[in-house]
Amino acid sequence: MKNVILSTCLLFLATFTSNSTNAQVELSKGAKIKFNKNIHDYGQVKYDGDGTCTFEFTNEGNEDLVISNAKGSCGCTVPDYPKEPIAPGKSGIISVKYDTKRPGAINKSVTITSNAINHTSGTVVLQIKGEVLPAPVSGAPVNNSGAPTNN
């Protein structure tokens, strides 16, 4: 009788452990996106200067990563992203162009939507910040930062 109870307990324990291991494997199966940075700081940018920055990412999962959308928080922030699947272990780049003909503070976001299992709803929010300097006054001398000098 003791052998029957012991065998039943061992069988139950083996089944529970096996199901738990399978659940862990299922939870970890999928694409996982990891960015080298989530914030890009332009610092001070000249009016009409280069407003392009890049965010490099790697698929650290075990299935192809598919980015289905990248959307800027406004029309002045335009992302470009890979349309083809990114294989496990491979990297890609999301390029963001900010319109630098808008003087003042930059505080915008880009929402990335993908099949990555390591982010809520498959979304990641990247941020850009900095400051666009005022436009140079026509005919006025300009210093090295692109701002008019006060003479």
**Confidence band, pLDDT 50/70/90 cuts, at residue 29:** very high
Tokens 């080298």 sit at which residue? 36
Mean pLDDT, the chain, whole residue set: 85
pLDDT digits (tens, 9 = 90+) for 76-102: 999 999 999 999 999 999 999 999 999
Q: Which of 1-5, 48-52, 58-62, 115-119 has the lowest mean pLDDT?
A: 1-5
Q: What is the pTM of this model?
A: 0.74
Q: Name the residue ranges covered by the structural domains of the chain.
A: 33-132
Range among 2-11, 30-39, 115-124 rated most confident = 30-39
At the fourth CATH level, the homologous superfamily of domain 33-132 is: Immunoglobulins (2.60.40.10)
Q: Check: CB of residue 51 under 8 Å from CB of residue 45.
A: yes
> Does the pLDDT at position 5 exceed 60?
no
Percent of the chain with pLDDT over 90: 69
* Mean pLDDT score, 58-63: 97
> Does the pLDDT at position 144 exceed 80?
no
Give residues with Cβ within 8 angstroms of 77, minimum separation 6.
96, 97, 98, 99, 108, 109, 110, 128
CA-CA distance, 33 to 43, in Å (whole number)? 27
